[in-house]
């Protein structure tokens, strides 16, 4: 988060200080509730006697979370301030040290031919060569046809249901010998997340995760038109094509590979927090989590450059994916940049104690000013750029699942 963004966050949260009265009680997680809470919404958010829905919001890792009215969340969104709504999952950071202790995973090696990567490259290249933009175009066309994919709208539930059926259709094309499952992850809100899994070898439980978020939002009118082509229809489509190509290939992973399409990212990483918490609570091991959020708009004048997020990620895993980009995306350069606290779903996994990495469509957040509006449309998407991230996701999945 930039200095300006940090000041904006403090200003917006300070404006909600009237909500922060002495706690009248505590919720089931032991987080103090503000006074005047009369009931809870069906999703689990507290509601005051005056009918105001409250959310526990955090804008920096080292800044205490603050209870704010729901309207303040959308002020943060309108001002491009990153945040996590931790109302439903306040314990991710608290349990992270125990998660890391249970992991006991070796750091992924920095990927380079001198480290014996040529054998892995030989497995990666045929899969990458099989990729194309056909599925990317068709899935983006369908995703943007929904009026919006807002997590609390009927359209958001409909789009998630379509995505679930589409992933199941693709899973039906898997090569014989692969065990592929597709499930919905239900949340307290109506929009479900979708998880597809390729089983690994028996007894190997360190999961390799590739994620994106399926929801969209219009920050000026959250129930309004929000095609969400780049944010994040592009990342959703990148993951779909990576999934299709991997299960159609002859590759069989040692470690299981999962593909996640998260609900409720735009409202504070709600879906990914729920899933990361469930893995944390179950003692699940995660070898790495790769987030693909916005893959369709290269920077003006720099069509062959991508970015890597430098904050709230795992350094060793990021270096590994950067090395893979050098190998499988010839002619593409990359730079690092700061994304800010809670800028996408990788932050949920990092907060929970799992290693994550986040490649991005460009080396900065300001290159696409159409997101969160009616102008984030499919005609502005560079499909070949979206495909680059499918290829990178394939390389990442093969590399990490082969260890």
Q: Which residues contact 106 (CB under 8 A, 6 or more apart)?
A: none
Catalytic residue, chosen from 75, 80, 265, 322, is 265
Rounded CA separation 200/43 (Å): 35
Rounded CA separation 358/339 (Å): 9
DSSP-derived letter for residue 312 is: S
Rounded CA separation 287/208 (Å): 5
Catalytic residue, chosen from 55, 346, 372, 385, is 372
- The 3-state DSSP composition of the chain as helix, strand, coil percent (nearest 5) reads 40, 20, 45
Contact 364, 287 (CB under 8 A): no
Catalytic residue, chosen from 85, 266, 322, 361, is 266
Q: Would residue 385 show up in a list of annotated catalytic residues for this protein?
A: no
Comparing CA positions, the residue from 335, 133, 144 lying closest to residue 231 is 144
Catalytic residue, chosen from 80, 206, 258, 293, is 293
Q: Which residues contact 140 (CB under 8 A, 6 or more apart)?
A: 229, 233, 234, 237, 378, 381, 383, 386
Q: Would residue 372 show up in a list of annotated catalytic residues for this protein?
A: yes
Rounded CA separation 217/242 (Å): 25
Q: Which residues contact 39 (CB under 8 A, 6 or more apart)?
A: 46, 47
Catalytic residue, chosen from 75, 80, 82, 213, is 213
Could you please report the per-residue DSSP string of 80-147? T---EE-SS-TTTTTTHHHHHHHH-PPPPPPP-GGGTTHHHHHHHHHHHHT--SHHHHHHHHHHHHSS
Q: Would residue 213 show up in a list of annotated catalytic residues for this protein?
A: yes
Q: Would residue 293 show up in a list of annotated catalytic residues for this protein?
A: yes
Catalytic residue, chosen from 85, 231, 274, 322, is 231
Identify the sign of the CA torsion 263, 268, 272, 277.
negative
- Phi, psi at residue 256, to the nearest 5°? -65, 145
Identify the sign of the CA torsion 51, 57, 59, 60.
positive
Cis peptide before 232 (omega within 30 of 0): yes
Supply the residues annotated as catalytic.
213, 231, 265-266, 293, 372
């Amino acid at each position: 988060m930039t200095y300006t963004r940090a000041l904006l966050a403090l200003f917006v949260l300070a404006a909600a200080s009237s909500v922060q009265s002495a706690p009248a009680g505590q919720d089931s997680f032991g987080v103090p509730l503000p006074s005047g809470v009369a009931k809870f919404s069906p999703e689990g958010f507290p509601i005051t006697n005056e009918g105001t829905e409250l959310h526990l919001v955090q804008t920096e890792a080292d800044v205490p979370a603050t209870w704010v009215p729901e309207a303040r969340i959308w002020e943060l969104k309108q001002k491009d301030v990153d945040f996590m709504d931790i109302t439903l999952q306040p314990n991710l950071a608290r349990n992270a040290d125990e998660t890391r202790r249970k992991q006991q995973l070796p750091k992924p090696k920095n990927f380079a031919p001198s480290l014996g990567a040529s054998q892995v490259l030989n497995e990666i290249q045929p899969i990458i060569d099989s990729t194309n933009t056909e599925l990317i175009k068709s899935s983006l066309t369908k995703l943007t046809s929904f009026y919006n994919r807002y997590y609390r709208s009927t359209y958001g539930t409909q789009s998630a249901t379509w995505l679930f059926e589409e992933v199941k259709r693709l899973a039906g094309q898997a090569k014989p010998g692969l065990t592929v499952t597709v499930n919905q992850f239900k949340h307290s809100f109506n929009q479900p997340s979708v998880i597809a899994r390729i089983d690994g070898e028996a007894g190997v439980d360190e999961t390799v995760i590739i994620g994106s978020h399926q929801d969209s939002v219009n920050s000026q009118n959250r129930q309004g038109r929000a095609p969400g082509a780049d944010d994040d229809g592009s990342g959703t489509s990148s993951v779909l094509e990576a999934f299709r190509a991997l299960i159609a290939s002859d590759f069989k992973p040692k470690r299981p590979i999962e593909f996640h399409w998260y609900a409720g990212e735009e409202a504070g990483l709600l879906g990914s927090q729920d899933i990361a918490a469930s893995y944390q609570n179950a003692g699940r091991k995660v070898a790495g989590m790769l987030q693909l959020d916005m893959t369709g708009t290269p920077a003006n004048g720099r069509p062959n450059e991508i970015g890597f997020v430098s904050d709230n990620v795992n350094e060793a895993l990021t270096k590994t994916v950067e090395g893979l980009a050098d190998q499988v995306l010839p002619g593409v350069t990359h730079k690092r940049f700061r994304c800010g606290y809670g800028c996408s779903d990788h932050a949920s996994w990092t907060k929970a104690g799992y290693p994550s990495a986040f490649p991005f469509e460009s080396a900065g957040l300001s290159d696409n000013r159409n997101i969160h509006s009616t102008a984030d449309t499919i005609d502005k998407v560079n499909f070949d750029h979206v495909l680059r991230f499918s290829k990178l996701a394939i390389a990442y999945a093969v590399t990490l699942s082969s260890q």
